[in-house]
Structure formats: structure tokens, C-alpha cells
Amino acid sequence: MGEMKMEDMPLPALFEQARKIHATATESGADQELVKKGCEALNKCENMVNRLGLFSANETKEDISTTDLKYILVPYYLAELTEKIAHDDRIPILKASQAKLKEFISFCEAMELVPKEELESYMQGVPKAVADQRAKKIARFKRQKAAESKLLEINERKERRGRSTKAAALSTPVEAGEEEQLDDDGEEEREAWNTSISLAICKAFDLLEMIKKEEEMLSAVKDRQSKEDGNQEFSKDIMDERAKKAEAWHRNAAVRAQYTKPSPPITCATFAQDVLEGRAQASQAHEHKHQPLIFGPQSLVNGSFTNERARMAAQVFQPSHRMPTMSIEEAGLKEMEIMNTWQENTARFIEEANSSWHNDRKFKPGEEEEDEDDDAAQDRARALDDWKDDNPRGAGNSKLTPCG
């Protein structure tokens, strides 16, 4: 018999097939054909669950039967497989996966399956403090490890009981304790699915945070690329406009050059420096004492310039360096003049330094010179002598002398 088509499968077989595809894609990498097949199976599972009305908003987790409990994981499996789809534009894939994760978390919240501290942090958003983020991740990691350990323990216990039951069935016939054993199996299966849902909740929160960050990064890159494209178009328009203006300017300049004569070059270095520093205008009249030497063909240099064309032809071969502004003799005379001025200033400074100007008394105009025989000066000197006679040295310290 051929393989049963996906449309003809019952819900339990379809879910089991989708669960195996999810486990294979999660553990061994994402084969795109397998991932798409798993997404198709899970979408059909979701449609069948909605048509059958297995879950109701008025129910609690205790009201859900053990056989239907596993179908709570359908949105989570679908979100994980959707995130693994390879596509050029990844943002819609991330949005679809994010929507399924939020649907799974909202339903688990309504069924009171989400831990209280995880629900509070989810409602508050991502904490700003790094320490709070670290504490939240550590607590979630501990819950995830506890769920994985419990699930592993349940599977090992189920395998041991299966082996012991098989061995007992071979040795003794089945008796009245079979019904109690079936009840234990049902409780153990319910515990296993509840643990799987708890583990899926921890992974769903981690995956949701990762998808949000990736979506923000991709959106930022997309916005930057769109801005760069717009800037490139804008820059191209500006460059085209500038090129048109430059071409028009050169065209107009070429037309004007036919009717205008260029101003003669500045050949005096001093006047050129004044023009550069703003002390003079280039259009001002200036006596150029040293005309530049003209290089060129001997026939043109020695001959007379009868027209403008001959003069311009003689100026073609010009030196690349700046020509001197004075002759060697003029430079020597200038240096001698500077040296003579320096020697005169030095002689004057030496004469002033050797003079007795500090002993010479200079008086203000209208002020008479005081003489040593001045009566007032003599009176002051006599009064000071009389005071010294009346007040000998140490007379003011009589209280300090032992016999005073």
C-alpha cells in the first residue's frame, strides 16, 4: 500500500508526523523541503483543531483531556519551523513566526500554564538594567533545565515499566491490576505533555526575543539601504546639475575670451605679496621695475613684437620657478644699508649705557634745585640732632633693664 496522503490522515497521525519532522529539523539542520512539508502538516493540524473545537476559552488546563493536551504545541512547532524557512526577504518570515509564538504564549497564559514571574517580565517588556536581564535569563534557563530533566526522567520511567510489563506478560497472564496500570499510564502521559509544554514556553520566550532583535537589525539595514539609494539618486541629480552649470560657464568663458584681453601678470614679488595679503588691489597701477625675462625661440625673443600673437608665442616657454625681483648689486646695497643702520643704533645704545645718566638730576620745569646750604634743610638736621641728644639709643627699653 502506498503512503497515505496528508489530506486523508487523522489528526493524531498528522500531528505525530509533524512532530517528527520538527524534531528532525531541529536536531539535524533545516532541509527546506522537509521544513515546508512540516509547516504544511502543522497548518492542517491547526485547521483541524479549530474545526473540531478542541479548546475553549471557558476551559482551564484541568478541563483539557490528556489526548488533546499535546495539540497546544501546534503553534509553537509551526513558529519554529517557519523561522527556519530560507527566503530573500526574511522580515515577513520573522513576522509570521513571531505571530505564532505570541498566539502560543497567549493561549498558555489563558490556560494558566505560564509561570507567574515569566508572565510579569513578559508584560513589562525587556528590562533596561543589564543585571535584571541576566537574572531573568538565569531563571528561565533553570526552569528549562528542570523541565528537560523531568521529561527525561518520565521517558526513562516509562521505558523501564514497559520492559517490566513485557517481561511479566510473558511469565504470567494479565489479571485485575491492568486497569490501575492504565490509569497510571494516563497520568504519566499527562505529566509528560505538561512538562513538554513548560519546556516549549521557555524556548518560545527565548525565540521571541531573538526574532525581535533580528527583525530590528534587518529593518535598520533596510532603512539605511533605502536612504543610501535615495541619497545616490539625489547626489546623481546634483552632479548632473553641477556638470551642466560648469559646461555653460566654460562655454560662456570661451565666448568672452574672444573679445577680452587678459590682465598682465604681476612680476613684482613685493606687490604680489601685498595683493595676497589684501593691502593692494591687482588692478592698481604699480611700477614694475623688473620685467620678467622672456624665453622662447631666438627669432621671437630678439625680434620685435609686432602683434599680440608674437608676444604670446614668446611667453610659451617660461620657467616654473619664481624669477628674482632685484639684481645682486641691489641686494648688496640693501644689505649694506641695513648694516649701517644697525651699527648706528648699536653705537647709540653703548653710549647711553656708559653715561652717568642715573646720577644726573633732572627736575621738572619751574622747580628750583635744592642746595645743601638751604635753611630748611639745616633746620631739619639740627632738630634731628637735638632729638638724638634727648633720646639716647635704648632709652625706650628702661622697663626691660633689671636696675632701671
Residue 352 and residue 167: Cα distance in Å, rounded?
132
**pLDDT one-digit tens code per residue, 66-105:** 888 888 889 998 998 888 888 878 888 888 888 888 888 8
> What are the structural domains, with CATH classification, of the chain?
11-163+189-223 (1.25.40.540)
208 touches 97 (CB < 8 A): no
What are the E-state strand segments in 222-297?
none
What pLDDT was estimated at residue 82?
87
DSSP state of 2: P
- Grid look-up 620657467 returns 319
- Note the pLDDT tens digit of each residue in 187-204: 888 888 888 888 888 888
Cell of 68: 488533546
Q: How confident is the model at residue 2 (pLDDT cuts 50, 70, 90)?
A: very low
Kindly state the average pLDDT of the residues 166-176: 60
pLDDT at 176: 45
Q: Over 90: is that where the pLDDT of 8 sits? A: no
Closest among 323, 305, 228, 308 to 264, alpha carbons compared: 308
Model confidence at 1: pLDDT above 50: no
What pLDDT was estimated at residue 341? 94
Q: What stretch of H or E contains 172? A: none
CB of 268 closer than 8 Å to CB of 290: yes
Q: pTM, whole model, 2 decimals? A: 0.50
Task: For residue 111, count other CB atoms closer than 10 A to its CB.
Answer: 19
Positive or negative torsion for Cα 111, 115, 120, 126? negative
**Cα angle value 137/139/141 (rounded, 5°):** 65
- Average of per-residue pLDDT across 241-258: 80
Q: What is the DSSP letter of 367?
A: P
- Give CA–CA dist 213/223, Å, rounded: 15
8 Å CB contact between 102 and 112: no
Integer-rounded Cα Rg, in Å, for the chain is: 54
